[in-house]
Amino acid sequence: MPIDWSPFVTFVKDHSRFLIMTHVRPDGDALGSELALAAALRKKGKTARVVVASNLGPRYEFLNPGGKAVERFHPPGREFDNCDAIIVVDTGTWSQLGDFGEYMRSRPVGKAVIDHHRTQDDLGGLRFVDTTAEAAGRLVYEATNALGVKIDAEMAHPMFMALATDTGWFRHANTTPQTYALAEELMAAGARPQEVYEAIYEQISLPRMKLTGLALQRMSSLADGKIVWSEVRMEDYPATGAVPPDTEDLISYARSITGAEIAMIFIEQADGGTKVSFRGKEPHDVSKLAERFGGGGHKLAAGATVTTALSVTREAVLKAATEVLAIAR
């Protein structure tokens, strides 16, 4: 069902200074949505600050020339207290907000969520959620139109990045004829696809490549190859020179293995916990699997961050995935 954006229009009218946040370890959809929405709000005469609660990582530094376009949140976050509204894009769960979650809970300001994931918490504000949208960037496009803002190159370029990256550059099952129509419109408005693609996919650092090699060496399978998984350990970063954001896209290698139905990457965290990325193929719903471990997401793409050690988490998640396969048969 299409979103009624009229409450969002009122929300924007009633506030002046916006803080725009997304999930930790932001991807192209998250960052593109933030940047495009900020540009739209500024066209309405508002102040908009784009903020993230974790490092961008080398892949997305091109979006932040001079370190001014995207600000890094560190608790207690007092430098953001002058904002009178918070908009969260591309997530609707507390667990994905990192250190920003506690700050958001404490702030008596207007709040809104723009998201396309199935798993949602009550973040204490308006919710504009459409799980049929292929990207949060699609919803930011709709919100921008609802505000009566004409989309120019400053907005179209990050919107295109959001749309293209969350559809696997128009390869994933969430790509529709409407996706291509929107891509055409954004290109006509000034989006530069070649520039985005080269910056994200053709500028791979040697440390990132070495980390990928380690993950590929550890690739393993269960259930006659239907479950494929690998892992990244804390010791791998100093060994390769890589950084945690370099783990993005490792899950794609596991998912691409012939016969894989459920793919997972286990990533050891500095605090001793474990981040798990899930990918699935029909008929499986990996968001429900992720929810069993406090996470969530889409039917075929989800994630969770748990407090238990990598070895403990791996054992528990692999057991749960095996059970999911057994039920599906």
CB 170 within 8 A of CB 164: yes
Q: d(Cα 300, Cα 63) in Å, to the nearest integer?
A: 28
CB 200 within 8 A of CB 56: no
Q: Show the tokens assigned to 198.
A: 């080269």
Q: d(Cα 163, Cα 90) in Å, to the nearest integer?
A: 12
Q: Show the tokens assigned to 92.
A: 């609707």
252 lies in the same domain as 179? no
Asked, for residue 117, whether it belongs to a domain, the answer is: yes
Q: d(Cα 297, Cα 286) in Å, to the nearest integer?
A: 8
295 lies in the same domain as 178? no
User: In the listed set 158, 177, 201, which residue is the last one of a domain according to the structure?
Assistant: 201
Asked, for residue 20, whether it belongs to a domain, the answer is: yes
Asked, for residue 173, whether it belongs to a domain, the answer is: yes
197 lies in the same domain as 62? yes
Whether residue 56 is predicted with pLDDT greater than 90 in this model: the reply is: no
Residue 91's Cβ-count burial label (10 Å; 0-12, 13-18, 19+) is: buried
191 lies in the same domain as 213? no
Provide the pLDDT confidence category of residue 298 given band limits of 50, 70 and 90: confident
250 lies in the same domain as 265? yes
130 lies in the same domain as 225? no
85 lies in the same domain as 189? yes
The CA–CA distances, whole Å, from 183 to 27, 136, 164, 165, 271 equal 18, 14, 8, 12, 40
| pLDDT of res. 1 | 65
90 lies in the same domain as 169? yes
- CB atoms under 10 Å from CB of 2, counted, come to 7
pTM flag (> 0.85): yes
Asked, for residue 98, whether it belongs to a domain, the answer is: yes
Strands 17-21 vs 85-89: parallel, antiparallel or unpaired = parallel
Alpha helices in the chain (DSSP H): 6-13, 28-43, 100-106, 136-146, 153-166, 177-188, 193-201, 206-217, 236-240, 250-255, 286-291, 310-328
The per-residue pLDDT for range 169-228, each reduced to its tens digit, is: 999 889 999 999 999 999 999 999 999 999 999 989 999 999 999 999 999 999 999 999
312 lies in the same domain as 189? no
| pLDDT of res. 66 | 86
CB 88 within 8 A of CB 50: no
Phi, psi of 88 (to 5 degrees): -100, 130
Identify the domain containing residue 11 by its residue range.
6-201
Asked, for residue 225, whether it belongs to a domain, the answer is: yes
18 lies in the same domain as 164? yes
User: In the listed set 201, 232, 250, which residue is the last one of a domain according to the structure?
Assistant: 201
| pLDDT of res. 99 | 94
43 lies in the same domain as 162? yes
Whether residue 329 is predicted with pLDDT greater than 80 in this model: the reply is: no
Asked, for residue 170, whether it belongs to a domain, the answer is: yes
Computed on alpha carbons and rounded to an integer, the radius of gyration of the chain in Å comes to 19
CATH code, domain with 269: 3.10.310.30
| pLDDT of res. 122 | 95
Q: Can you name the residues that pair with 221 across neighbouring β-strands?
A: 228
User: In the listed set 146, 170, 201, which residue is the last one of a domain according to the structure?
Assistant: 201
118 lies in the same domain as 191? yes
Asked, for residue 323, whether it belongs to a domain, the answer is: yes
Number of domains present in the structure of the chain: 2
Q: Can you name the residues that pair with 279 across neighbouring β-strands?
A: 263, 301
CATH code, domain with 146: 3.90.1640.10
Provide the pLDDT confidence category of residue 2 given band limits of 50, 70 and 90: confident
Asked, for residue 1, whether it belongs to a domain, the answer is: no
| pLDDT of res. 87 | 98
| pLDDT of res. 125 | 95
Q: d(Cα 109, Cα 290) in Å, to the nearest integer?
A: 31
- Average the pLDDT over 52-81 and give the result: 93
